[in-house]
A = this chain, B = another copy of it.
Amino acid sequence: MSGNELRAVARRGLMLVLSSPSGAGKTTISRALLERETGISMSVSATTRSPRPGEIDGKDYHFVDVDRFHRMVEAGEFLEHARVFSNYYGTPRAPVEATLAGGKDVLFDIDWQGTQQLAQNARADLVSVFILPPSLEELHRRLSGRGLDSADVVAERMAKAGDEMSHWPEYDYIVVNSDLETSIGEVRSILAAARLKRERQAGLPAFVNRLRGLDRDSGG
């Protein structure tokens, strides 16, 4: 074994997007991914809404006022942003760019509209996964919640989930979440494979030159 063998090939990071209708398991899968994988962290959004008890500025969100948010939008400082009810949310570009340049990955838990904006701004770095529930019955069961909601409310949630699901053709990968552990494994495989894509391994030309003895001086 030479020192060379243990030196990983330098790579550029990637943006892993998970989207799904509510109830499909996206949040649980995201959390498991962050616990089990190294080299990937969650994107921290900026928002104009007030911090909730226990939320930490810079960790859970970057809390900014509306003026600041609008100036950031105008300066092109967001990779994606949206208004949800009366609050604004956005993904600041600079920290994501710095993470990717350092060869680390960023996880995004966003909807199809955010994904479309990310794709416009950074398609080459994007790997997008859409998570589907396993069946209509299971979706209905999860959206019915504790069984306390009226049929109208449940029907509205089903319709909203249906609209969200209609965007599956815009994603690179589709995971049907029948079994949580299987789905976590599938998303981890998608991440592992994306890291092995030729064009993401920026250090390969130099690495192969060393292997071919074309650049012995920089070898191990």
Contacts and interface: CB of A to CB of B under 8 A. Distances in A.
A175 B196 contact: yes
B192 A5 contact: no
B134 A204 contact: no
Contact of A207 (B158, B176, B189): B176
B174 A212 contact: no
Nearest to A212: B162
Taken together, the copies of this chain in the complex come to 2
A132 interface: yes
Contacts of A4: 134-137
A88 interface: no
A6 B178 CA distance: 7
A138 interface: yes
A125 B190 CA distance: 18
A165 B135 contact: no
A138 to B, nearest CB: 6
Contacts of A134: 4-5
A186 interface: yes
Most chain B beta-carbon neighbours within 10 Å: one of A137, A178, A196: A196
Contacts of A2: 135, 137-138
Interface in A178-220: 178, 185-186, 188-190, 192-194, 196-198, 201, 204, 207-208, 210-213, 216, 219-220
